[in-house]
Amino acid sequence: MSQVRGISQWKSKEANKLEEVQHAQEAALAIVEREKQKCKAAVEVAYKAQRIAELESEKRKQAEMKFQKEAEEKQKVIDALAYSEIRYRRYTMDEIAVATNYFSSSEKVGEGGYGPVFKATLDHTPVAIKVLRPDISQGEKQFHREVTSLYPQILLIGILSCNFSTMDIVQVEVLSRMRHPHMVILLGACPEYGCLVYEYMQNGSLEDRLFCREGSRPLSWRIRFRIAAEIATALNFLHRTRPEPLVHRDLKPANILLDKNYVSKISDVGLCRLVPPSIADSVTQYHMTAAAGTFCYIDPEYQQTGMLGTKSDIYSLGVMLLQIITAKPAMGLTHYVETAIDTGRFAEILDPTVHDWPVNEALSFAKLALQCCELRRRDRPDLDSVILPELERLRDLGSQNNPDGRFDDKYSQSQTSKGNSPKAMSQVNENRFDHI
């Protein structure tokens, strides 16, 4: 019995040892499995990191290639200009002085942030001559000294010419070659004294026409819709220029000019590129600190960050579109229109000088304008894919109803009865460049 008991105890011990060995093996296998999972996870992380690095490297290469391509394109433009004949007409100071009657105040037709504007005739053509303001620390004394020595009869009150050593002559050439049906043409320049020569626009500014200044007759809704589409077309052209988009910076009704057929054109295009950034920024800062009416067109995001972009022009466009249908000042206009829409009084705020507004279409017009006036740039619609197609649709609606695009007879009759003869209207047109 003792032997049987001993064998039984031995078997029990051996079974316990075997069980311990099995547990040890299982634990070892579990450790191995965990290590395998860790290794697998590490491999996956390494692969992802490698993939991310490859993608980043590819992005950098593409960005470098894009930058190099844009730089090459820009250099090609500069080289082409450097080795080609100058396309814009270069005027002498003698020609400018004589054409403006030695900068006579009687020939002055406007004043803006970039400088005064004079009406003149050059090469038997009516033109508008803008005298660019200088950086006060650089060009003022030189201009006064040189011009007064040449032309003692000139009274240089309020005339400050830009020192053209600070002006980008290449940009003058570039802008003079830019052609669009709805941009005022830069005909030439006087490089020595910072004078730019533009085509003359007989019917003045959109601002004057919206507010019927000097007794001018109101624009029909058809013409207003057409003008809105024309402005958007020209702005889209500027924003799609390469290698860099061209931001206008100062879009407002006073800078939209009308020719003899009431075709609209954007003025002051590219002036921020003709002078150093410090001067261009000072002009924008002048608008921000000047009258509230001008301040209202400036992108709120630019006011906060100091960063300009194409969407900055979209904000200005939105405010201007609201003015086109209401003929009201820009101050508080977005809130005014939003409130009218929310309270069902939209039809009441439309310009009352127009008696046949298509209210539903005008409402679509207003809602689009309000989208353009969103405080955040990212919330504003795209010009090319959203704004322009809608404005063209509304323009086409007006064209279908009035193919000739003329003023309604009732406006012509009402204005004639008030004494606005052709002679009176011609006198009005002499003063159409205020705020340029």
Catalytic site residues? 250
Q: How far apart are CA 189 and CA 369, in angstroms?
A: 36
Nearest 5°: phi and psi at 218? -70, 155
Q: Which of 60, 166, 152, 156 is nearest to 105 (CA)?
A: 156
SS3 of 116, please? Answer: strand
Q: How far apart are CA 111 and CA 114, in angstroms?
A: 8
Angle at which helices 310-326 and 333-342 cross, to 10°: 60
SS3 of 330, please? Answer: coil
Residue with tokens 């010419």: 161
List, in sequence order, every residue forming a beta bridge with 256; answer none if it has no partner: 266
Tokens of residue 82, six digits: 């450097």
Nearest 5°: phi and psi at 199? -65, 150
Angle at 172 between CA 169 and CA 174, to 5 degrees: 115
Q: How far apart are CA 175 and CA 424, in angstroms?
A: 35
Q: How far apart are CA 221 and CA 97, in angstroms?
A: 41
Tokens of residue 100, six digits: 């403006």
Q: What are the residues whose beta carbons fall under 8 Å from the beta carbon of 130, sequence distance 6 or more? A: 112, 114, 115, 116, 117, 195, 196, 198, 436
* 364, amino acid identity: S
SS3 of 245, please? Answer: coil
H or E segment at 129? strand 125-131
Q: How far apart are CA 346 and CA 360, in angstroms?
A: 10
Entry field: residues in the chain: 436
H or E segment at 230? helix 221-239
H or E segment at 265? strand 264-266
Listed in order, strand segments (DSSP E) in 268-415 are none
H or E segment at 118? strand 115-122
Tokens of residue 12, six digits: 């029990």
List, in sequence order, every residue forming a beta bridge with 190; answer none if it has no partner: 195
